[in-house]
Copies of this chain bind each other. A is one copy, B any other.
Amino acid sequence: MATASVKTNLLGLSRDEYKGLATTLCAGCGHNSITNHIVKALYDHGVNPYRLAKMSGIGCSSKATAYFVERAHAFNAVHGRMPAVTTGAAVADRDLLFFGISGDGDTASIGLGQFCHLLRRNVDCTYLVENNGVYGLTKGQFSATADLGSVQKKGAVNQLETIDIAGLAVQLGASFVARSFSGDGAQLVPLLRAALSHRGTAVLDVISPCVTFNDHDGSTKSYQYVKEHELILQELDFIPSQHEVEVNYPEGSATEVELHDGSHLRLRKLGREHDPRDRIAALQVIDDARQRGEVVTGLLYVNPDTADLCTAERLPQTPLRDLDEAQLRLSPGQFRELLEEWA
């Protein structure tokens, strides 16, 4: 049969089963490319659609959760408040795999406070920012990640310092911080899989050009600009531990990070050495690139050994919603005892 020939992943699911509704975003929007990379990463990683929870805020970017894994629950929160909703859901059911998508306005403007506190709590989720430096859905105003001096389609010039989401995340002690570019699947897919394997908040700051309002000279988030200035910091070779894969990469110059699920992430240094376990080095490399007007991409920082919120709160493995009266109420004896104490 035809179906017999359909390729499937280790869960026996075809790649199509990781697709979602047709996109309603602009043709050529960077967000659409990211969606495709997400589909591939989730498929390759063999994520169970039923355990996936797709979280987002409000914006063109936040619509993207509708465009992959239609069979997963999704929560489109209010603008900038996805972190709080995700935190609540994450403690309610630590079994779920939370995949959050936000925009730069959603994260760095209205949502900045919640974003910082999500990192502080190290909520176990992937937090992907589709970063285009503008408010796409409201037609192109600057966001807080718009670079100083970049020119808006309508002609206005941004007067304010940009907020570097990756740098901020590293400074706040996030346990996984990477940056990539929507057009660079070869880099983004492995980063996504590494994020999926990470326990704690994995921040992916993905430059994602808004072709309608931000893809013009002057914008430092446009295809042109990024392609010209992008600087590949590392390539990633991700080895899932489920099955051994022979890969022939040159030995020696490799830093190997062991993720909590036992899978290994091996980083190949390009051009210069970067140790992704060195916070200050990460800040330095971001800063240096910025000084040169470059965008540094790759895995900037990772600490596989942090406790996520559920661990810190010592929550049971059973989802809290599944606990019953016997597990949640005082026994009649305890109850009587307590009231006597209170008497």
Contact = CB atoms under 8 A, between A and B. Distances in A.
Interface string A306-330: 0100001100000000000000000
B283 A120 contact: no
Contacts of A160: 120-121, 312
Contacts of A167: 171
A120 B109 CA distance: 11
A160 B312 CA distance: 8
A21 interface: no
Contacts of A144: 117, 120
A122 B171 contact: no
A313 B159 contact: yes
Contacts of A307: 159
A113 interface: yes
A280 interface: yes
A29 interface: no
A185 interface: no
28 contacts: A109-B117, A110-B113, A111-B113, A112-B113, A112-B116, A112-B117, A113-B113, A113-B114, A113-B116, A116-B116, A117-B144, A120-B163, A122-B161, A159-B307, A159-B312, A161-B172, A163-B172, A167-B171, A168-B171, A168-B172, A171-B171, A171-B283, A279-B287, A280-B280, A280-B283, A280-B284, A280-B287, A283-B283
Interface of A: 109-114, 116-117, 120-122, 144, 159-161, 163, 167-168, 171-173, 279-280, 283-284, 287, 307, 312-313
